[in-house]
Structure 1
Amino acid sequence: MTTARLVILYAFFAVIATLANLGVQRVVLLGGKGGLWLMAAIATGTLAGLVIKYILDKRWIFFDQSTGVAVHGRKFSLYTAMGLVTTAIFWGAEATAWAIWQTDLAREIGAVLGLSVGYVVKFKLDRKFVFPDARMKPA
């Protein structure tokens, strides 16, 4: 797979996972309003996006052919842990931009930069720790 195709596919999967996350959040929020509903929506949406991105990355980015509940459990746990690391990058960039310039535009630019850096780091972490045997091309 060419680098350009890999980047486009990876970004496309990130968009799919984000839309799934937000869609699930909206569905949960149909059930009610308030802090508990919001927390439930965020948690459920995050889980949905995470599972979808894992499945897509496993199959179409890393071409991982492994099977079994134990293997998937270990890999999904590692995949989630790598996501926590990169979420800290994203939140940190967004919060730092807000703290310095205190405008919505700066915050959003910080978020986009943080997400961009975070996804590059996530790919590298996933390749090294989650899918170390990845061939990076279809069989």
Structure 2
Amino acid sequence: MEEKDNLNRQILFYFLFAILMIILNYGIQKINQLFLAPYICSNFGTIEIIQALYCSITPNMSELIGSIAAVGITYIIKFFLDKHFVFKKGGTLIKETSKEFLKYFGFAILTTIENIGIQFLLTNLMNTPLEISIIIALSIGYLTKFYFDRKYVFNIRNS
């Protein structure tokens, strides 16, 4: 019973932090959409590489770059929340934390590809609003990531 309670607590905190990261992710992307992209494209959009890699609207490259930045920032924050609060891995040795972070980051890359791919397809092929695309893509990504983190990163096994 205690193990089931622990799993339920882990799931609750993991997804509570995931919701907070979704909100932060959304905020970062909205800042990019409303402030950074217009500023960069109006001031530097004549530079060919910036036009091609950031200011292009078919496909919407500033959205893609904003999505990548938002996911990167939130994954770093979420690693420390997951390590210390969700899975209660209190070890602070650099070697141990580095190994965990590398595994966490490796799985983050896989789920980020999944996340960004889903969001990109939803917004560019299905004309889904950015807000809905972010919520759907991140929810699927965090669900996948919970199972990877629990089993492979923080080595929590079912008995």
Where on the TM-score scale, by shorter chain, does this alignment land: which range? 0.5 to 0.7
Question: Which of the numbers 34, 57, 68 marks the counterpart of 2:93?
Answer: 68
Deviation at 1:74, TM superposition (A): 1.4
- Partner of residue 104, structure 1: 128
1:34 matched to 2:16? The reply is no
Q: What TM-score do you get using the length of structure 2 for normalisation? A: 0.59
In structure 1, distance between residues paired with 2:76 and 2:121: 29
Question: Which of the numbers 14, 17, 21 marks the counterpart of 2:21?
Answer: 17
CA deviations over 1:80-132 (Å, ceiling 9, x no partner)? 111111111122222333454x3234x65444332222111101111222111
- Partner of residue 143, structure 2: 120
Q: What TM-score do you get using the length of structure 1 for normalisation? A: 0.66
Quick one: structure 1 residues 122 and 19, their matched pair in 2 at CA, closer, same or farther if it must change by over 3 Å? Answer: same
Rg comparison, structure with higher value: 2
Taking only the aligned residue pairs, the percentage that are identical comes to 27
Contact 2:151–2:157 (CA under 8 A) maintained in structure 1: no
In structure 2, distance between residues paired with 1:98 and 1:48: 21
In structure 1, distance between residues paired with 2:80 and 2:40: 32
Query: Number of aligned pairs?
Result: 130
In structure 2, distance between residues paired with 1:94 and 1:79: 21
RMSD across aligned positions (CA): 3.8
In structure 2, distance between residues paired with 1:112 and 1:4: 22
- Partner of residue 130, structure 1: 153
Contact 1:64–1:131 (CA under 8 A) maintained in structure 2: yes
Contact 2:22–2:138 (CA under 8 A) maintained in structure 1: no
Gaps in structure 2 of 5+ consecutive residues: 42-49, 51-61
